[in-house]
Structure 1
Amino acid sequence: MTNTLSALVDRATSLLDKPGRVTLGVTGAPGAGKSALTDTLLTHLCAAMDTDAVGHLPMDGFHLADVQLDRLGRRDRKGAPDTFDVDGYVAALRRLHDEPDRTLFAPGFERDLEQPVAAAIAIPPSARLVVTEGNYLLLPDGGWERVRPLLTEVWHVEVDDDVRRERLVRRHEQFGKSPAAARDWVDQVDEPNAALVRGTRDAADLVVTLDSL
């Protein structure tokens, strides 16, 4: 990790110098290590602050359910920008700022089912710092352009492409794909999405390079 963890924690907590609730976005290509970094960061932030002062809003909860992807004919590229409920995600981010005195209930994502789960996440009014992670936080179109103005800062996570691709292959195999099908999915679905995310790198406030996580 070229950015030390302690430096990242310090940078995140420094956002609290701003008034009101602050939101930190963590983005990067599929398999870059966004969730691993976010989980580690949240653990350290909760240790440094009151646990109730930190919230987590992952973008994954806003995946469209498979029944909707089937209806729209998009299930064969699940994970692309138009396979998420971007309107719902933007609405949740807005509520974090517009209704800070109310608990925000938001969908989570069940990895074993590969499906969103309604109201699985609760962000209480006491959460002054909310971390949200996802691929498309800096995308300039498709409705995603409404996300960046709602985030205090955005970090772009990257790792060696070969490492990232192998992570994705292993992930797809763990969820039932054959090795050949897993590699086909990475090539045909994940990599076009990764190219979109790489194109947003320069819009990030910070680039975090992960050697391993």
Structure 2
Amino acid sequence: MTVAGGRRPPSFGLPPGYFDTEDGQGLIGRINAVPGERVLVAVAGAPGSGKSTLAEALVDQLSDAVLVPMDGFHLDDSVLERRGLRHRKGAVETFDADGFQTMAARLEQPGREVIYPVFDRSRELAVAGAGVVAPASRVVVIEGNYLLLDQAPWNRARYDLTVFLEVPEAELARRLTARWRGFGKDEAAVAAHLANDLANARFVTRQSRPANVILRG
């Protein structure tokens, strides 16, 4: 997946040749077996769990598939500043949850073109209308931290198959530290980002509904 305008973070979590393994082939087969003209697959997990990597790889393995990241529904920094939430960017309350749920409902409709926002990490903002799900796209892989939260409005989104990546906190911390250092952050900024990310990771782990498929690693 190309993220509009920006450098991509490091990829995490998917071992080489995963889709040549029994587990990898089983996941692809399970998605392909879901009936319907439009199939929504949710890939959820904590920050740094590898959900973006897995979601992108799934789209590459599937025919007529497209990736829709949740991150396009980040609230703008100017809104976060007014709400005193700039330091919590990435937390559940810093997303347009109702907007995301509305998009998810539109995606359920077969043969419908859906326009969605894409997050530009180089500018730390969402770009409206930067992503398109074509009418012919049968499988839509949606990825994000909060897709399986057991609270409204997140729990109103309906998925045909759900996948959750479960990663130990120590490994998340290692990956996230590398991520923020890779963006050129100094150590104080890395520590602040890490504290926020791990708080969000704990929230995701405790508050998410059980998934159809759980991948541990």
TM-score scaled by length of structure 2: 0.84
SS at structure 2 position matched to 1:170: helix
C-alpha separation in 1, matches of 2:26 and 2:108: 26
Give the number of equivalent residue pairs.
198
Task: Kindly report which structure 2 residues correspond to 1:202-213, keeping only aligned pairs within 5 A, or say none.
Answer: 203-210=210-217
Match of 2:75 in 1: 64
Where do 1:47-196 residues align within 5 Å? 49=63, 53-98=64-109, 100-147=110-157, 150-187=158-195, 189-196=196-203
State the AA in 2 paired with 1:203. P
**Structure 1 residues 201, 85: CA separation in 2 closer, same or farther (over 3 Å shift)?**
closer
Instruction: Assess if the C-alpha contact under 8 Å between 1:28 and 1:197 holds in 2.
Output: yes
Q: CA deviation at 1:56?
A: 1.6
Q: What is the alpha-carbon distance in structure 2 between the residues aligned to residue 198 and residue 164 of structure 1?
A: 12
Answer whether contact 1:24 1:131 (CA < 8 A) is retained.
yes
Of Structure 1 and Structure 2, the greater helix share is in 1
CA distance in 2, matches of 1:69, 1:142: 21
Q: Deviations over 1:2-56 (max 9, x none)?
A: 97322222222122xx2231100000011000001111111111xxx2xxx2122
The SS at the match of 1:136 is coil
Q: Hey, what does 2:25 align to over in structure 1?
A: 6
Is the counterpart of residue 24 in structure 1 residue 34 in structure 2? Answer: no
Measured against aligned partners, the alpha-carbon deviations of 1:80-130 in whole angstroms (never above 9, x if no partner) come to 0010011111111111124x3331110011121221111111001111110
Residue type matched to 2:211 in 1? A
Q: Which amino acid in the other structure matches residue 95 of structure 2?
A: F
TM-score, scaled to structure 1: 0.86
The code of the aligned residue for 1:20 comes to E
The code of the aligned residue for 1:5 comes to G
- Listed as ranges, the gaps of 5+ residues in structure 2 are 1-14
**CA distance in structure 1 between the aligned counterparts of 2:78 and 2:159, rounded to whole angstroms:** 31
SS in 1 for 2:155: helix
Letter in 2 for 1:11: R
Q: Is the 8 A contact 1:33 1:158 kept in 2?
A: no
CA-CA distance at 1:168 after TM superposition: 0.9
1:142 Cα offset (Å): 4.8
Residue of structure 2 aligned with 1:42, choices 59, 65, 76: 59
Separation in 2, partners of 1:13, 1:175: 37
Residue 201 (structure 1) shift: 5.4
Identity level (%): 38
SS at match of 1:107: strand
**Runs of at least 5 residues in structure 1 that lack an aligned partner in the other structure:** none
